[in-house]
Structure 1
Amino acid sequence: MSTTEITITRVLDAPREVVWRVWTEPEYFARWFGAAPESVELDVRPGGAWRAAVATPAGELPMGGVFREVADHERLVWTVDLPDGAMVLTAAFADLGGKTEVVLRQPAPSQEQCAQAEEGAGRLLDGFAKVLATV
């Protein structure tokens, strides 16, 4: 099975330091990721683990993985554990002078699933932008 990558780019109306904080601090992460606050653990360093329980219509879905690369305020590479292996995601944060460009990359297992993965990542970034606007 070949892997197709999706890339979503957003320009956010906040300085990069604030965007980084909202992305990497548990209390903010819980809000934009849709996780129970008490379930969120983020050890944001290379080799550090992350965990969260996301509320779904079928109940809580435990999620987790490992941060592979952390370049403060610039780039995160992390895994999301899946039943058949780990999916690797990348987020790059570019300073645009008071605004921040976020480029999110994630694999989609097939071309058919690409649109679904892109829609899900877009909703996640929409939620992120809403939380960011409250900080």
Structure 2
Amino acid sequence: MEKNKITVQSTINADIQKVWTYWTSPEHIVNWNFASDDWHCPFAKNDVRTGGKFSSTMASKDGKMSFDFGGEYDEVVDQKKLAFTMADGRQVIVSFEDMGNNTTKVTEAFDAENTHSDEMQRAGWQAIVNNFKKYVEAA
């Protein structure tokens, strides 16, 4: 059975090198990798190379819920593309496009899971991308 693909994106007011660094560096990931202000990302590690693994912990600030998000990179093209397979087997492609004028478009396309509605998944992933945009542009 083919999985639904969901796409989220944002245009960031920053050059592609900064966007790439902030997306891939654990010291930055912990500052944006959550969907709402009542969650945080207390841990992240990232081996950005084909075959490299990554993991981050997303947790509610009240300590009642947490989960690890991780996987392995299938393809890494510096400042252009990250393709990876999540621990549950779903695939994700993140593209980085230099739009000129110090702006970068980030597009994430991912296999939907079967537990939550596509709309709920899209909203959650879009909220994380929006949080990334806010963090990068404030830095």
Percent sequence identity over matched residues?
26
Alignment of 1:68 with 2:71, yes or no, is no
Structure 2 matches for 1:3-18, cutoff 5 A?
3-18=3-18
Distance (Å, rounded) in 1 between the aligned partners of 2:126 and 2:66: 21
Amino acid at match of 2:12: L
Contact 2:52–2:73 (8 Å) recurs in 1 = yes
Corresponding letter in the other structure for 2:47: D
- TM-score w.r.t. structure 1 length? 0.87
Runs of 4+ off more than 6 Å: none
Q: Deviations over 1:103-134 (max 9, x none)?
A: 11011145x72111110111011110111012
Matching residue of 1:96: 99
Q: CA deviation at 1:79?
A: 2.3
User: Once superposed, what is the RMSD of the aligned Cα atoms?
Assistant: 1.6
TM-score, with structure 2 as normaliser: 0.85
Pairs aligned (count): 129
Q: Which runs of 5+ in 2 are unaligned?
A: 34-39
Cα distance, 1:106–1:59 mapped onto 2, change above 3 Å: same
User: What SS is found at the alignment partner of 1:51?
Assistant: strand
One-letter identity of the residue aligned with 1:93: F
Give the corresponding residue for 2:36.
none
CA distance in 2, matches of 1:8, 1:53: 21
Aligned pairs for 1:101-116 (under 5 A) are: 101-109=105-113, 113-116=117-120
